[in-house]
Amino acid sequence: MKFSELGLNETLIEAIGYMNYEEATPIQSQAIPHILEGHDLIGCAQTGTGKTAAFTLPVLHRMAQSPVKGVKTLVLCPTRELATQIDQLVQGLSYFTNLSCYPVYGGGTGPEWEKERRALSDGADMIIATPGRLIAHLNNGYVNFKNVQHLILDEADRMLDIGFHDDILRIIKELPQKRQSLLFSATMAPKIRSLAKKILEEPKEINLAMSKPAEGVTQKVYLTFEEQKTPLVRHILKQHEDFKSIIVFCSTKKKVDQLARNLKNKGHIVAGISSDYEQAEREQVLLNFKSRKTRIVVATDVLSRGIDIKDIDLVINYDVPGDAEDYVHRVGRTARAASKGLAITFVSDKEMGKFARIEELIERQLDKLAPPEELGKAPEWRTHGKSKPKGKHNYRKGKKPNRFKGKKQSNRPRGSAPNQPSSPKG
């Protein structure tokens, strides 16, 4: 369906044209008519499907027709990166209108706090906020939400995962009871259903969540020991020197710093990003990555959802995500908008159970590859018990092989083959 068929006003259609959009995605074509009619809505669709435009377009349409002054729309989202992205999209779509919006998120300086205070008290038309930062402003008593007509929760499941449930309910108490409420989520877990019952009135429901990576993603899996992961990243980067944009996801901030430093020392143009970085640093990293000044970004899951960076060639899961759904979100960074992409996941001997749950979710068994021979033997695939290296050496716990008798044992990984180095060279 074309956007021109959805009943949006001409100024928005003009803005959409300037942004080179023409065909609405499924979530957009289904959600926009319900929102224009004033219904509450619960929408479930995975990352990269166009959820942001699905709610911003019809809400901007309705706001443009409202004579009310002050904050008309409040958007809550889990991270400052997503708040910034929504703000940028709204700025583009509302270019030919008189509507204003302002993002409210943590990590700013004193002058930024003052700008947020003025937007919340004097009334930008739309506020896009992270719950924690907004609560800090609410506690100071100057926030004016008496004219809010639309409440939008974006990435609601992620906000609950982070622990914003009570903050969300506290914020909603400050809003008029008569309003339109929209909830968008990538999953429809019981906690989302529970929240929806508390804040939505007879909502329409759209469920497009497939919990599967896009068709254009080529998925590969390497079985590795932990110490093989960094040299394997370097091996893969060497194989794909033509790739211009690469994201590597790590499970911890410490690993982000270590891997980014290692790759930088090997001559790669790389930057790290996690919640430990200052807001200005994070924004600069994203700006450089989008403009192709930085080829590789090493990140925690702060980049797995809601960040619209086009033409990602490769996603590497350095660690298996703890939540199977997060695998879909990470992999969804590539092959967006029907393009092609490559996603590679490293599965260590301790992560096989987690990856088995991912395969169950995506309803697909992926081939398990071994690292190059120079990196040593790989663990064998197991989903129960401890994994052992591929090869002949399977020793019982507490039993030392006779040929080691009287000799000093090498400092090798537990369960690995005797001739495997404790850490690969390089």
Quote the CA–CA distance of 232 and 370 in Å, as a whole number.
10
User: Which tens digit of pLDDT belongs to each residue from 411-422?
Assistant: 444 334 434 433
Quote the CA–CA distance of 200 and 50 in Å, as a whole number.
22
Count the alpha carbons within 13 Å of 101 in the hemisphere toward its beta carbon. Answer: 27
Contact 119, 345 (CB under 8 A): no
Q: How would DSSP label each residue in 103-153?
A: EE-SS--HHHHHHHHHIIIII-SEEEE-HHHHHHHHTTT----TT--EEEE
In this structure, the strands spanning 101-104 and 126-129 are parallel
**What is the separation of C-alpha 136 from the centre of its chain, rounded to a whole number of angstroms?**
25
User: Which tens digit of pLDDT belongs to each residue from 153-162?
Assistant: 999 988 998 8
The pLDDT > 70 percentage for the chain reads 85
Superfamily of structural domain 3-207: P-loop containing nucleotide triphosphate hydrolases (3.40.50.300)
Q: What is the dihedral of CA 59, 62, 68, 73, to 10 degrees?
A: -10
Query: Helix, strand or coil for residue 341?
Result: strand
**Those residues with Cβ within 8 angstroms of residue 179's Cβ, 6 or more apart along the chain or in another chain:** 148, 149, 150, 151
Mean pLDDT of 352-361: 92
| Degrees, nearest 5: CA angle 318-337-289 | 50
Which CATH number applies to 217-404? 3.40.50.300
Residues written for the chain: 426
Same fold, 3-207 and 217-404: yes
Place of tokens 């990856």: 355
Mean pLDDT of 165-171: 95
Phi/psi of residue 292, nearest 5 degrees: 70, 20
User: Which tens digit of pLDDT belongs to each residue from 180-227?
Assistant: 999 998 878 889 999 999 999 999 999 885 557 767 789 999 999 999
Give me the pLDDT at residue 410, please: 42
The pLDDT > 90 percentage for the chain reads 58
Mean of per-residue pLDDT scores for the chain: 84
For residue 347, the one-letter residue type is: V
Quote the CA–CA distance of 73 and 145 in Å, as a whole number.
9
User: Which tens digit of pLDDT belongs to each residue from 237-261?
Assistant: 999 999 999 999 998 989 999 999 9
pTM of the model: 0.67
Give me the pLDDT at residue 261, please: 95
Neighbours of 230 (CB within 10 A): 21
Lowest-confidence region among 34-48, 135-149, 276-290: 276-290
Quote the CA–CA distance of 346 and 344 in Å, as a whole number.
7
Domains of the chain, by residue range, sit at 3-207, 217-404
